[in-house]
Amino acid sequence: MQPIAEYSVSARPCHRIVEVYDADAYLGDEQAIEASRHRVVAGNGYHLYLHTLQPDIHVHITIRLWDTTPPAPAADAEGHTSVAIDSGTGILVVNQLTLGPAGEMTLPHPGVYQGTAWWIGRQAAGDYHAQILQRIDDDWTLESIAQAWAACPTPERYVLDLAHTGPSALEDD
């Protein structure tokens, strides 16, 4: 079974958060952000927040769309949770909070998409980040710190496997 569409982008997790939202859903949601700290991925219907264990190493986000119920998470996934997002515009934005959008995906059509978010490499990237922070001293330059972040041996990856389940509540607005 193959997805009907797939989009991938790399993003920096500002304040340990990467956000996925409908292009017209500008206002954030502090309660959903706080929920992501406990559940890793949480949302409010129009936003999904992905909570990493580190704020400096780019993470990879993949959004896959399916024409049937999405498949189960990868066998080596560290964790997973059910998610839903309402996209009245048919455009999902992957946002780096204070740094701005990392990219956007045009959906086949607007509507509500439901499925599963799962992740791999979250703990390893967090552990690597902590190890590097312990090694940084006055001899390190900004360039050497950036090189250390880029050299993380285990990529941190989040996958949103989604299927269209109905019309958007935003379509009538």
pLDDT, one tens digit per residue, over 32-90 is 999 999 999 999 999 999 999 999 999 999 999 999 999 999 999 999 999 999 999 99
DSSP-derived letter for residue 72 is P
At residue 169, the pLDDT reads 85
With bands split at pLDDT 50, 70 and 90, how would you rate the model's confidence at 173?
very low
* C-alpha separations of 7 from 30, 65, 68, 136 in Å: 27, 9, 18, 35
At residue 149, the pLDDT reads 96
The two three-digit tokens of residue 50, written as one number: 């992905």
The DSSP bridge pattern shows strands 59-66 and 5-11 to be antiparallel
> CA 62, CA 104: separation in Å to the nearest integer?
11
- Give 90-148 pLDDT, tens digit per residue: 999 999 988 999 999 999 999 999 999 999 999 999 999 999 999 999 999 999 999 99
Task: Using the CB atoms, write b or e for 1-12: b if 16+ within 10 Å.
Answer: eebeeebebebb
CB count within 10 Å of CB 33 equals 20
> CA 102, CA 158: separation in Å to the nearest integer?
14
> CA 173, CA 100: separation in Å to the nearest integer?
26
The arithmetic mean of pLDDT across residues 147-157, rounded, is: 97
pTM here?
0.94
The arithmetic mean of pLDDT across residues 2-12, rounded, is: 96
The two three-digit tokens of residue 163, written as one number: 């299927």
- Give 15-24 pLDDT, tens digit per residue: 999 999 999 9
| Phi, psi (rounded to 5 degrees) for 94 | -100, 115
Say yes or no to pLDDT of 171 above 60: no
At residue 106, the pLDDT reads 97
